[in-house]
A and B are shown apart, each in its own frame.
Chain A
Amino acid sequence: MSQSYNRGLIEDFGRWKEFSAGMWAWIFHKFTGWVLIGYLFTHIAVLSSALAGPEAYTETLQGLEALFVVRLLEVGLLAVAVFHILNGIRLLMVDLGIGLDAQDKSFYLSLLITGAIAVASVPTFMTDVGF
């Protein structure tokens, strides 16, 4: 038996540009999922400052909110959450076997709505924050 050649990871990266809607949707969903579960752990950690008393809680939260970076990250988090929700609805439809032919269009629509909501939320999220 002759040995055979395994092309390994290189071909996987080579294929990225050939990905289609369904694949991109999966990658985005997975990425946003990782962000959200990561955030959940951080979120509970930050809120745990309540255990040190009301003042510590208020100070921690308002201290963080005063930072421009935090506000920026919050807009990002909103975009991530909105996309995960919208694409999640899309995936639930796929699971129910509804509109499988429109799965690519619904992905593009999810992206569009996510973008629109993220942009529209910038004024609200950036109120009263210096650089």
Chain B
Amino acid sequence: MTAVPILSVERLGKRFPIGKGQSVHAVNDVSFEIRPGQTVGLVGESGSGKSTIGRTVLRLLEPSAGRIVFDGQDITSLSESGCRALRARMQMVFQDPWSSLNPRHSARRLIEEPLLLHAKLGAAERRARAEALAERVHLDRAMLDRLPSELSGGQLQRICVARAIATDPKLIVLDEPTSSLDLSVRAGILELLAEIRAATGAGMLFITHDLGTLKLISDEVVVLYLGSVMERAPTARIFEAPAHPYTQALISAHLSADPRHRPERIRLEGEIPSPISLPPGCPFASRCHAAIDACRAAKPELRPLPGGGQAACIRIDELNRGAGTRA
């Protein structure tokens, strides 16, 4: 795992001005990296900034601070046309397949679109490539001449995946790709993504609010709260021994479909701070059961954890001393 990262994000920040000199601080000081073939999961609740990070990384949004290095190239302030050329190597799959495809284009035309934009191919060759892509995402050839309104959610999401892999990208950002799909359809898409990752070696950024999905597909998990990283660790570590109080609460709130599995639930009380005027200290302090005065004074930096990974909590050592002996 010492390969050169395909993407490294350093202290990324994104603010949305809302007038009167104020702005929404959607993303603050977020750093992570993705190596080829690795899947990094971004998890968080609404307002955590996870989708904003995904879009900023692809330069669909302008970053306000920090650095984005993709494939050895600093793309933080690349021009619009420079970004367009980049899109062949970095792709995205969106949450809602019903609305993320042009309703007037057939499946075939939708899959051919990235080839038309990025590959110099003849019409016949493009057609053949599109059919090969459809096969790779297990989409029946008979579906290729249908419009999006004539296809099911699972079929549409397969088209989206086919579009994303058409140009052999090195990075694929997946923004809640399975959240709007039915359970068994979701399983099929996850299988497909795992298959594609094995075949292409692309790095993946998997954005979701669902921890259960991440457990299946990601190698590393980045836990976000109000635009800041709370904890970052290998997937197995996060689920076995969540270190940060917020991660613990998030995992305990997850309802497992196994009725025998009943973790002790951590209840979160208190108000969520406004992202317009973030408190100076830890953003989670207002809802944290372990918060002390020092937490509200300064924003904690990420510090390494004994079992691998990092957490942004000044009390992390004392909080996990007991847990360490328990595990």
Q: Do A and B bind each other?
A: no
Question: Chain A interface (Cβ within 8 Å of chain B)?
Answer: none
